[in-house]
Amino acid sequence: MGEFVFTESYIILYMEAIRKVVEDECEIWPYYNKKAELNRAFWQTIVHELRHTMQDNPLFENKYEAMSREERERDAENYCREIFENIVVCYDYCVIS
């Protein structure tokens, strides 16, 4: 749902794919708040992709170099959830209303 393009150092978010996943989740779990879930998915995707920029940035201690692709994905996923729960939720950042 997101992609980090290393050679150009930019992130692309596929909002239509994010929206589709959220709509599918809301059909399965009808008590979900669609706007809240869309915001969660947006923030977690962008932070996940930003973590990949950190993993590939030579200015950071490159502890990520020895990681496998799966380990990098797991690291990015854990990081995005931590940031979302500890920062985004606490400040009630909302980009989709």
Supply the mean pLDDT for the chain.
87
DSSP string, 3-30: EEETTTTEEEE-HHHHHHHHHHHHHHST
Residue 66: the pLDDT is 83
Q: Is the pTM of this model over 0.75?
A: yes
Domain boundaries, the chain: 2-91
Q: What would the mean pLDDT of 29-37 be, rounded to a whole number?
A: 90
Alpha carbons 52 and 12: distance in angstroms, whole number: 12
